[in-house]
Amino acid sequence: MKNILVTGGAGFIGSNFIRYVLTQDSAVQVINLDLLTYAGSLENLNDLPDPARHTFIHGDICDGDLVGKILRDHQVDTIVNFAAESHVDRSIEGPMPFVQTNVIGTTTLLEEAKKYWLLEGNKPAKEVRFHHISTDEVFGALIPGDPAWTEEIPYKPNSPYAASKAASDHLVQAYGHTYGLPITITNCSNNYGPYQFPEKLIPLMIQNALQGKALPVYGDGQQIRDWLYVDDHCLAIWLVVKNGRVGETYNIGGGNQPTNLELVKMICRILDDLLPDSENIPHEDLITFVKDRPGHDFRYDMNFNKIMEELGWQPSLDLESGLRKTIDWYLNAGEWMKNIHQESDLQSWMEKNYQNRENS
């Protein structure tokens, strides 16, 4: 593994993965392809370790000519595909961008990898790898008493976002089976940590609490998610890319099961502790219940025994420790937050989105 193409590397998980890789292997060159849509930002790539080994290319994974040129020019031997539209609410409002990026874009990457590695005979001396990042949402939803999802559970996506990711997963598997493309897939639970775009639950709660704004919680807040600190996720991906069995899928989870309301209250308690002079103490008083998301899945839970047993991975941080690290990062990320807001339509979208729910 010498030349890694990371797609979506200016986004939340992708940029954290690039930071991780640059600290792990001094021989690796990282080529970062990102379209810089609203959730991707060059702000996420400031102060990279050893930036000389990172090359940024502004472009679209749906552009096959560009992808093919990158593979050839940089002699890419590994692709890690983070590029995706990933917000469920946005997919409900408008599914087509999710189909375009998540389905067409992934297929374009697969097709260009097949051409370069297999059809043109440019397979490097060491084994090549196409690694695809997916989500637990492809499995649907669990009800009380259901066991955690294993890798063998059939897909049952419930949102346009989840359906688009399920389609991309199936295409990756199909290219492995049909053409012999060396693929692996990881399905992860909800990530959190530094550089997460502030539309997602944890950074949104932190941001709103710091500003004394309402903390919007869908429905009664009893939906259950599994939360994975992003650095733990990056380590898991690295292990799968290096040592995972070709053709296999690996679940990655955080090993916790709070309700959304419990999670928000935990964030509030940590903020109370870290900001004892805040005029918003107790921050729990800012919690506001809003109309539930259409088709909101009740519970997610990942069984990640496979990656533990085969690759020796397990999460290093419990939820409270990870939240403290995350909140501390956001408390010191004022400039990043300001610049992210200036680059995106986040504020207007969030205000419209939650205003509509509160008034309906």
Any idea where the domains of the chain sit in the sequence?
A: 3-197+227-254+297-318
Give me the DSSP letters along 213-228: --EEEETTS--B--EE
| Residue 328 is among the residues annotated as catalytic for this protein | no
pLDDT the model gives residue 249 = 98
Q: Convert the pLDDT of each residue in 282-317 to its tens digit.
A: 999 999 999 998 878 899 999 999 999 999 999 999
State which amino acid sits at residue 233: H
Q: Which fold has domain 3-197+227-254+297-318?
A: Rossmann fold (3.40.50)
Instruction: Say which of 34, 60, 85, 137 is annotated catalytic.
Output: 137
Contacts 24+ apart (CB under 8 A), 202-206: 202/227, 202/263, 202/267, 202/323, 202/326, 203/326, 203/330, 204/350, 205/264, 205/267, 205/268, 206/267, 206/271, 206/326, 206/327, 206/330
Confidence of residue 123 (pLDDT cuts 50, 70, 90): low
Residue at 180: amino acid letter: G
Reported pTM: 0.92
At 31-75, the pLDDT tens digits run: 999 999 877 899 999 999 999 999 999 999 999 999 999 999 999
Mark whether 152 is an active-site residue.
no
List the catalytic residue out of 116, 161, 300, 354: 161
- Over the stretch 177-213, which tens digit does the pLDDT of each residue have? 999 999 999 999 999 999 998 888 999 999 999 999 9
Q: Name which of 72-81, 105-114, 267-276, 344-353 the model is least confident about.
A: 344-353
Cβ-based neighbour number of residue 26 at 10 Å:
8
Q: Annotated catalytic, 161?
A: yes
Q: Which of 77, 85, 112, 136 is catalytic?
A: 136
